[in-house]
Amino acid sequence: MNKIIVEQDVLVLQEEDAVLDIRPNKLDLTVKGRVYCGIQDFTNKELHIQLEENSHLIIEFLISIENSKNKITISNGENAKLDLHYACTYKGENELIVDSILATSHNENRILIRAVEEEGTLIVKATGSIEHDTKDNVYLEDIKALTNYNYSIKVMPDLIVKTDSVMATHNATISPVDTEELFYLESKGLDKTHATSLIKEGFLKGIVENEELKTGEVK
Amino acid sequence: MKKIPFSRLHLKNLIQYLRVFTMLKIKNLTVKVLDKTILEDFNLEINRGEIHVLMGQNGAGKSTISKVLLRDLHYEITNGSIILNEKNLLNMNTTEVARESVFLIGQNPVEIKGVSNAEMLRTTLNDQGKKEENILEFNRHLTRLCEKLLIPKEFIHRDINYNMSGGEKKKMELLHMWMLKPNFIILDEIDSGLDVDSLKLVATSIREYYEEYKPSLLIITHQRALLEIVRPEFVHVLNNKKIVQSGGYELASKIFNEGFTGASIIDKSDNVE
């Protein structure tokens, strides 16, 4: 998979598989056809995604953030699909805003967010708006976080549904590292530190499909 | 140098031999979970290379002992001692027990999404300071084990037990066992969720491992077919929080044929609380 260094604030991708190195603080990304994007660095950025008619974008973030405010907005053309996988570790004070607007029909937006705390806080505001006069849209939002024991994440979901013809769901789970998983790995001989970091890493990589992004072996 | 008389030297060696010979010694153990006593005055001794079976009716507390030995802190030990490899097990945490070469295969191995079997095994072997194989040899080793255990080799890189059937999970646990080469293995109802063919394969693999490495085994099971292949030498029956009867394999045969109550090992009244 190739790496694209993005210097401008506008980018059009068509039938492309790439890792994006986004340099400007704001980017308008237009997607045509089937596109895969991997992102390894995303700090204090705004990304607007415009999905053209019949397009399909898989966009995966595997990032570490520290004192960062990120915003992602999504607009769908007719019959477009989005799979957004946002996996991050966070330190310091952070905010993530994800806004989806479905103003057309036959769309499928699946938004998966996984966050692992490394001493800090994260506020997630996720909004899905399904507009009037649209039909057969699917909107799924699944947010899971592994925190230390002070539960330093705040999730603010908002589903605004203005039509009858939609399937929209929201799920949020916040928990510390699973003690059964920890016991299992320790019982194989792993020390607590290694076992915990394997579980946290696995938790994030569990939603990332692209092997090169997972291993960090990008050309 | 002072000459030690042969008889004293012989006795000293014998004592040393006997001490090293003992793998596990549990004495007068009392275990509680949420203030409920599960085991009381529980005693068990397992020597190196011995195969022991722990039997008992459902809910008798058989699985408790496997969790206690691996230092699951949900189980509170309020009395007694456990000596493993001449060390006080109660001073160890789970990792330290595992590094004493203890290995548990539980009834329902946990699924860990995002952590592959290969990743876990490689990290564990490194953590334990065991000889590092190069990655090609490591993968070849795993592939050979997959063929032996009839596991698709792509399972090596799949997430631990994730979306696997009961049988596949148990075979993967055996693969971990063959890689980590433990000296003391606890099998807690390894037969649950296995069909006839898988049970035979799993039992045969355990016996093969035993023939090759001569570990100590503590098997918790109700399955005759498993025991017929693994061939334990010692059988214990757990009831009313302690071992009420011990014997050879003939004790297991008697229980399989007549049941716990039929064989007069457990009174029917024992089951009424």
Q: Which two tokens stand for residue A202?
A: 């696995």
- Structural domains in chain A (count): 1
Task: Please give the pLDDT value at position B273.
Answer: 37
Distance from CA of B120 to the nearest CA of A (A): 8
Instruction: Profile chain B (273 residues) by mean pLDDT over runs of 10 residues.
Output: 59 63 94 94 96 92 95 95 96 96 95 93 85 81 94 93 93 96 96 91 97 96 93 94 94 91 70 42
Distance from CA of B124 to the nearest CA of A (A): 5
d(CA A197, CA B118): 16
Task: Please give the pLDDT value at position B7.
Answer: 66
List residues of chain A with CB under 8 Å from any CB of chain B: 178, 180-181, 183-192, 194-195, 198-199, 201-206
Looking at chain B, which residue has its C-alpha nearest residue A209? B114
B208 touches chain A (CB under 8 A): no
Task: Please give the pLDDT value at position A216.
Answer: 76
Give residue A133's domain range: 2-215
- Contact list in A for residue B135 (CB cut-off 8 A) is none
d(CA A164, CA A162): 7
The answer to whether the CB of A31 falls within 8 A of the CB of A15 is no
Q: What is the pLDDT of residues B204-234, one digit of tens each?
A: 999 999 999 999 999 999 889 999 999 999 9
- ipTM of the modeled complex: 0.89
Q: pLDDT-based confidence at A32, cuts 50/70/90?
A: very high
Task: Please give the pLDDT value at position B218.
Answer: 98
Cβ contact B114–A185 (<8 Å):
no
The answer to whether the CB of B87 falls within 8 A of the CB of B146 is no
Non-local (6+) Cβ contacts of B53 within 8 A are B218, B219, B220, B221, B227, B232, B234, B235, B236, B252
- Contact list in A for residue B113 (CB cut-off 8 A) is 202-203, 206
Task: Please give the pLDDT value at position B272.
Answer: 40
Cβ contact A181–B109 (<8 Å):
no
d(CA A76, CA A114): 23
- Contact list in A for residue B127 (CB cut-off 8 A) is 189-191, 194
The answer to whether residue A151 scores a pLDDT higher than 70 is no
B158 touches chain A (CB under 8 A): no
Looking at the DSSP assignment, which residues form a beta bridge with residue B218? B52, B186
Q: Chain centroid to CA B37: how far? A: 22
Looking at the DSSP assignment, which residues form a beta bridge with residue A61? A39, A86
Q: Chain centroid to CA B63: how far? A: 10
Q: What is the pLDDT of residues B13-34, one digit of tens each?
A: 666 665 568 999 999 999 999 9
Task: Please give the pLDDT value at position B268.
Answer: 60
